[in-house]
Amino acid sequence: MSQVTDQVGYQINLKSEVNSIVSTVPSQTELLFDLGLGSKVKGVTRFCVHPKNAVADIPKIGGTKNLDIEKIREINPDLIIGNKEENIKEQVEELKADFPIWLSDIKSPHDALDMITEIGKITQTQDKAVELVNEVQQLLDELAEIGSDRKKKALVFIWKDPYMVAGRDTYIHEVLKLIGYETAIHRDEERYPQVTVEQILESKPDLLLFTSEPFPYSSSELQIFHGKIPTCKKLIVNGEYFSWYGSRMRKSFQYFKQLKRQLNP
């Protein structure tokens, strides 16, 4: 047995060798496969869609916010990997009574790199984790080298009816900063504030970004905003690249390099 501490301060006791893992977060499921742990992943959520072919036949244990506790008990995993924001606290506490559950707490790319490192340690995949972290760090350095004249204001839309945008205390906002923008609307008490068209206009954004998930914004939605707010640039962006951390950062930061050049010609 070994004792480890997760990103929210929980201490958990792990077997010397972890042979069965349940993942309750889509981006972390993808990471486990990229660390070579696919054969040990015995349960995932229905939102865990990558890698597509690999996860298709793995037992599903509900959604990120409505885990099937009994299904997880049937699997009897050596380790559960979750996330503070994605999973419900009460369900995490219930699982903690019977299983080691390691929680990430991701608000920045730096947090995500720490998460990769720690998961590498607890799953005996340190070498692959270090390789991945170094690759992502290089992409971060390359992003920083692409200059922008000033910090401009943007809104990243994640939901409709009501409209919701990413606030400042989020991973999405930290990603937004990488491409030279700050969130235009900030409320201390809200990480994902609801906004009206009037509030959007008052915030005078330079850019509106509409994500493909969790709400699947489309070109028709974009046309509506062209009429309501004609004064700034608008783009539909890959939602997974803006909100998935872990090994997905390899693809997302390549995407951000292209996007940053596009937005800062």
pLDDT at 149 over 70: no
Q: Which two tokens stand for residue 44?
A: 């995932």
pLDDT at 257 over 80: yes
Residues β-bridged to residue 4: 12
**Range 64-69 contact pairs with CB under 8 angstroms and sequence separation of 24 or more:** 64/24, 64/25, 64/26, 67/24, 67/91, 67/95, 69/94, 69/95
Could you tell me if 95 and 72 are in contact, meaning their C-beta atoms sit under 8 angstroms apart?
yes
pLDDT at 265 over 80: no
Cis peptide before 51 (omega within 30 of 0): yes
At residue 195, the pLDDT reads 94
Mean pLDDT of 55-72: 97
At residue 223, the pLDDT reads 85
Banded pLDDT at 165 (limits 50, 70, 90): very high
Within 10 angstroms of residue 138's Cβ, the number of other Cβ atoms is: 12
At residue 201, the pLDDT reads 92
pLDDT at 190 over 90: no
pLDDT at 21 over 90: yes
Could you tell me if 206 and 181 are in contact, meaning their C-beta atoms sit under 8 angstroms apart?
yes
Banded pLDDT at 19 (limits 50, 70, 90): very high
Q: Burial of 222 by CB count in 10 Å (0-12 exposed, 13-18 middle, 19+ buried)?
A: middle
Residues β-bridged to residue 210: 157, 236
CA distance 23 to 41: 7
Dihedral angle sign, alpha carbons of residues 40, 27, 8, 124: positive
Could you tell me if 180 and 207 are in contact, meaning their C-beta atoms sit under 8 angstroms apart?
no
Pairing status of strand 62-63 against strand 66-67: antiparallel
Q: Burial of 162 by CB count in 10 Å (0-12 exposed, 13-18 middle, 19+ buried)?
A: exposed
pLDDT at 14 over 70: yes
Q: Provide the percentage of residues in the chain whose pLDDT is more than 70.
A: 99
Mean pLDDT of 63-76: 97
pLDDT at 169 over 80: yes
At residue 189, the pLDDT reads 72
CA distance 121 to 136: 18
pTM for this model (two decimals): 0.93
Q: Which two tokens stand for residue 247?
A: 């090994």
pLDDT at 245 over 90: yes
The mean pLDDT value of the chain amounts to: 94
List C-alpha distances in Å: 186 to 31, 96, 102, 213, 219.
31, 34, 31, 21, 27
